[in-house]
Amino acid sequence: MNGNFCVKTASVHFLLLLTFFVREIFSSEVPRPRGVSLSRASLYPPDTDFICFDGSKTIPFIRINDDYCDCLDASDEPGTSACPNGLFHCTNAGHRPLNIPSNRVNDGICDCCDGSDEYATETSCQNNCIELGRSAREAAQKNADLIKAGKQIRAEMGQKGVQLKQEKKMKLADLKKNRDEAEKLKLEKEALKKEIESLENKALEYYRKLEDEAKIMKEEEESAPQRAEAVETFNKFDSNQDGWLEISEVKVSTSFDQDGNGEVSDEEAKFYLNFQESVDLDTFVKTCWKTLRPVIFREGAEKTPEKKDENENLEEEDEMQDDQELEEESEDHDYEDEEQESQEPDQATEALPTIKYDDETQQLVERATAARNEYEEARKLVNDIDREIKKIEEYLGKDFGTDEEFAALEGQCFDYEDHEYIYKLCPFDKTTQQPKSGGSNVRLGFWGHWSGAEHNKYEQMTFESGQSCWNGPKRTTVVRVTCGSDNKVLSVSEPNRCEYFFEFVTPAACHEAPVVENEDLHDEL
């Protein structure tokens, strides 16, 4: 079995060597080992020993392409798959030459259009370099025509861009001048306002005092009935009439039985006494009454310690009514007083008699109001100018291309519709996705930066920090920008969840492709 294998390997080697020499002798215009480009042919002088390119080894020339990897840099096996890191050069006469990884040599798949990579397999590769070359040249010509026409438009877009930036710069200079004046005016108005406000304050001090007094009087008037009610209740409960309400005096009313066990415990009673053993009338009115009042009115007067007299029967009906109202209120609000408190100032102000100022004060108030308005206007003007300045500075800071050719796209949006969504590309602003079936517009990213390769960063835009993906990262968009006769989104895809890819064409991207130097791919078309 092993012997057989060795014989087989030896015969493959022999076949390879034979093929090599036959090819070298009969088919090459310039003698060179298989898989070597014309420009590198001189690195393989046939009449001397071969030194690996990395200098690590010297081998007889016959061991070039002997299907055994001698050199670590693969330089001795340009035409076989023996070295894992080698490159095989296809001449592809009639089309573009190509370098392929050497593991694709004799792997049964035609990689080179001239079929030269499959020289020792049964795969018969057709040489279709002529046809491929022709269509490649036609496509290149079409592209060249497109670029030529597009370049013209690009130049116009660039001119427009330069003009736009120029206009913005002029506007900025104007705004900065205006801002200085506006700021001066604002400071003047502020000083005037302060001056007149200090006079106004002085004049109003007297009236404020009057207002405060009126307010206090009104509050007292309003709280008088409540206070009377509280005092009356205190006296009812204070059975020994010593001016103190004690736990034992509160316990007699079953109204305070919170857990419904038929008895009022000390703790339950204390709750209504502001957690104290006893309270005097003043404390009762100020603090306990709030807690106690709703309970008393809810439970009915018959549970208070004192027996009702006949006259009180009439009052009872009233209280029952109050009770009902209270209950209705307390359904909406746990603490009715809170509600009352929040309404009080309004009610108080409404009900307060409007104080009339004397003529001089009235005039001061009017002048101060006018000064405040004028200052406010001046302040707003400065803010508006600042906002505009910021916008223009942001605009001027944007990279619209080497010749400002992309500037004209700023402020425009371009749509693309597929079966499910309408996508929008707004260069230098954002990308969005609107579901056709309804639902909200999803932001796929805000303008980030140009992200093309080093030699042409303007071939790609990146939009980032879009709406967060469900349980995932924020959405992002990459826009591939190539030459086209119009501004148009050609396609939109989502290669990974919440990562979107737009293909956008625009005349602004029409320019000759930068020349990438690669001598190996130059010499044999």
Choose between 322 and 494: whose C-beta lies nearer to ligand MAN.
494
Choose between 54 and 415: whose C-beta lies nearer to ligand MAN.
415
Choose between 86 and 466: whose C-beta lies nearer to ligand MAN.
466
Choose between 169 and 497: whose C-beta lies nearer to ligand MAN.
497
| Beta strand residue intervals within 31-190, DSSP E | 50-51, 58-59, 87-90, 98-101
Rounded least distance, CB 475 to ligand MAN, Å: 7
Token code pair at residue 505: 């064409």
Choose between 423 and 447: whose C-beta lies nearer to ligand MAN.
423
Rounded least distance, CB 494 to ligand MAN, Å: 5
Choose between 231 and 422: whose C-beta lies nearer to ligand MAN.
422
Place of tokens 């040249």: 137
Rounded least distance, CB 429 to ligand MAN, Å: 19
Mention every residue, 6+ apart, whose C-beta is less than 8 A from residue 43: 36, 53, 75
Residues that bind ligand MAN (CB under 6 A): 433, 442, 469-470, 494, 497-498
Judge contact between 376 and 130, C-beta under 8 A.
no
Rounded least distance, CB 44 to ligand MAN, Å: 55
Distance CA 421, CA 436 (A): 5
Distance CA 151, CA 318 (A): 93
Q: How many residues does the chain have?
A: 525
Burial 414-433 (b: 16+ CB within 10 A, else e): bebeeeebebbbbbbbbbbb
CA 5 → CA 8, 83, 119, 523, distances in Å? 5, 21, 21, 41
Judge contact between 486 and 505, C-beta under 8 A.
yes
Rounded least distance, CB 466 to ligand MAN, Å: 9
Distance CA 78, CA 330 (A): 94
Token code pair at residue 288: 């306990």
Rounded least distance, CB 442 to ligand MAN, Å: 5
50 DSSP β-pair partners: 59
Choose between 3 and 438: whose C-beta lies nearer to ligand MAN.
438
Judge contact between 111 and 132, C-beta under 8 A.
no
Rounded least distance, CB 470 to ligand MAN, Å: 4
Place of tokens 């008699």: 353
Closest residue to bound ligand MAN by CB: 470
Rounded least distance, CB 423 to ligand MAN, Å: 10
- Give the ranges where 238-288 is alpha helix by DSSP (H): 247-251, 266-272, 281-283
CA 408 → CA 424, 507, 510, distances in Å? 17, 11, 15
Choose between 301 and 478: whose C-beta lies nearer to ligand MAN.
478
Choose between 376 and 420: whose C-beta lies nearer to ligand MAN.
420
Instruction: Name the nearest CA neighbour of 164 among 175, 172, 174.
Output: 172
